[in-house]
Amino acid sequence: MLKKLGMFLLVSLLALSGFISTGFTSFAESTTQMIRIGVVPSAESISIGSNEDFTITDKETGEVIYTGENGEVNVELSSSATIETNFRLQTAWTTSVPYMQDWLNRAEAAGYETYVEDYLDGWRLLIGKFPTDAGWSERESFRQQMIAEGFAASDSYWRVITVSSGESEIKVVADGFEQIVPNAIQISSENGVIKINGSQYRGIGEVGFNSAGTLAGINELPLEEYLYGVVPRELPPVPYGELEAQKSQAVAARTYAISGLGKRSADGYDLLPTTSDQVYGGYDVEHPISTQAVQETEGVVATYNGKLINAVYHSTTGGYTANNEDVWASDPVPYLRGVPDSQRGKAIENVPTLEVFKSHANPKSLRAQRNGDFEADWSKYHRWYFQWTNEEISEVLSDYFSTDVGEVYEINVLERSNSGRVLEIEFVTENGTFYEFKDRIRWSLKYINANGGQSVLLSTLFYVEPVIDNSTKTLTGFEVYGGGWGHGVGLSQTGAMGMAVKGHTYDEILKHYYQGIELEERY
């Protein structure tokens, strides 16, 4: 494992130094910036095709493998590869090579199976390997053992990981046709639109290998055309069809995309098409208003002191955005400062209070009509309300902390930020007191959704109170009054819509949510 890891690090360092090619085009090399999206991050079989004439080629040799018309073919991982799917315990994420190597040395010396996953300019460290039918108690016993031995911490958790071992090859299968190809393959079409697993995308499609050795379905296309499929998914033009709001989303998405080029190069692509990066729906979701917004802001990005900003955004603030350090474990960023979503100035008195939430006409409607707020008329999540029974809150916390917490006696907010968001929360239970911090609080305090499952709490801008039966004076559960949806940092998407309706331009919108920035044309 260490030898394999050392080679990976050497290749990565050489690529960063420019000695070898990674297959990614630098921003300065081309005015038509290309981007690669892992639309199918991991699979054993992927379908590709087109509604028009299409050609499949070997990416390395350029050899034509197959031609077709208005159809699809299957691309499969060759049977010579062994595919394993197991539970593995994620213990940490690190950017430190010495830390990682020390952890690996200790874990492997102790005889434990290890796995390292490249992620966000660092590495995820995983230990152990259990079959997918292994019971929770067996896995929890191992997790506690790893904590006791210093290989994991209390925030460690189980992930299902699929890896391929052995010599991997690609098999292209169609009616009456089958061919093994040792390299990645690409598909192009007559009209410039291809299909991957039934969804349509501009540009070319590719099926190659990710870092785990399984197949990855990749869409490579010009960055501006990529944005055609991002903006309508991140800020739906129905009902958020104001052009200036769409433009602000386009600039934020472009800035994020350019900043993320090469982010997931170990898996053969730049970004994922999900909320892990940006939601991307491809050709099928394009809309004329969103496309117009992209075209009219072509090349425009947001910068601070000449550098691209971290253009994070979220759905709804609930009244006040968050400082980045109040949500994530990061140093304060000058342009990611909390600002109000109202037109009443920056007075901290505008931060919603419990009284504000409770006095709302109908918080259960998840809809607000509050005069003067940029987002209130455009988001059903401007205000919201949920309630747990005693049994439900015990189940939610037990699942999150991976232990039976028993009866929940108190839920106490210990610290808030100046935007009103919860920074630290305490759960006092029958079997101990538990704590969580910043944005992870949303995962600890899940609500019961309409299907009976658990969903992440919409934001950390909330107030939680016990529910007391008036007749018996006993605790029957807990209730939460909240506002907003998402982490709350940076651009508020529904706030952008509200500002646009009130006559603000896209540059005014962006400069409100990202303090002190400039807008530049990079190409």
**C-alpha to C-alpha distance for 467 and 470, rounded to whole angstroms:** 9
Instruction: With beta carbons less than 8 A apart as the criterion, state whether 230 and 279 touch.
Output: yes
Please state the φ and ψ torsions of residue 140, each to the nearest 5 degrees.
-70, -35
**C-alpha to C-alpha distance for 425 and 441, rounded to whole angstroms:** 7
Q: Find all residues with CB under 8 Å of 246, minimum gap 6, and list them.
A: 231, 235, 237, 240, 289, 290, 292, 293
**C-alpha to C-alpha distance for 495 and 379, rounded to whole angstroms:** 9
Label each residue of 112-180 as H, E or C: CCEEEEEECCEEEEEEEEEECCCCHHHHHHHHHHHHHCCCCCCCCEEEEEEEEECCCCEEEEECCEEEE
Instruction: With beta carbons less than 8 A apart as the criterion, state whether 267 and 38 touch.
Output: yes
Enter the pTM of the model: 0.77
Please state the φ and ψ torsions of residue 382, each to the nearest 5 degrees.
-60, -40
Domains of the chain: 42-72+171-215 (no CATH), 82-165 (3.30.70.1070), 313-489 (no CATH)
Q: Find all residues with CB under 8 Å of 72, minimum gap 6, and list them.
A: 47, 48, 49, 195, 198
Q: Find all residues with CB under 8 Å of 102, minimum gap 6, and list them.
A: none
The count of other CB atoms within 10 Å of the CB of residue 93 is 12
515-516-522 Cα angle (round to 5):
110
373, amino acid identity:
D
Q: Give residue 439's pLDDT.
A: 93
**Structure tokens that stand for 427 in this block:** 């759960």
Q: Beta 313-314 vs 491-492: how paired, if at all?
A: parallel
- Per-residue pLDDT of the chain (523 residues), as tens digits, is 333 333 333 333 333 333 333 333 333 334 689 999 999 999 989 999 999 999 999 999 999 999 999 999 999 988 666 778 889 999 988 888 888 888 998 998 899 999 988 776 678 899 999 998 888 778 888 999 999 899 998 878 888 887 766 667 899 999 889 999 989 999 999 999 999 999 999 999 999 998 888 899 999 999 999 999 999 999 999 888 999 999 999 999 999 999 999 989 889 999 999 988 999 999 999 999 999 999 999 999 999 999 999 999 999 988 889 999 999 988 999 999 998 876 654 444 455 666 666 555 444 332 233 444 667 666 778 888 889 999 999 999 999 988 899 999 999 999 998 888 999 999 999 999 999 999 999 999 998 887 788 889 999 999 999 999 999 999 999 999 888 899 999 999 999 998 999 999 999 999 999 999 999 999 9
What does R_g of the chain's alpha carbons equal in angstroms? 25
**C-alpha to C-alpha distance for 91 and 372, rounded to whole angstroms:** 46
**C-alpha to C-alpha distance for 75 and 72, rounded to whole angstroms:** 10
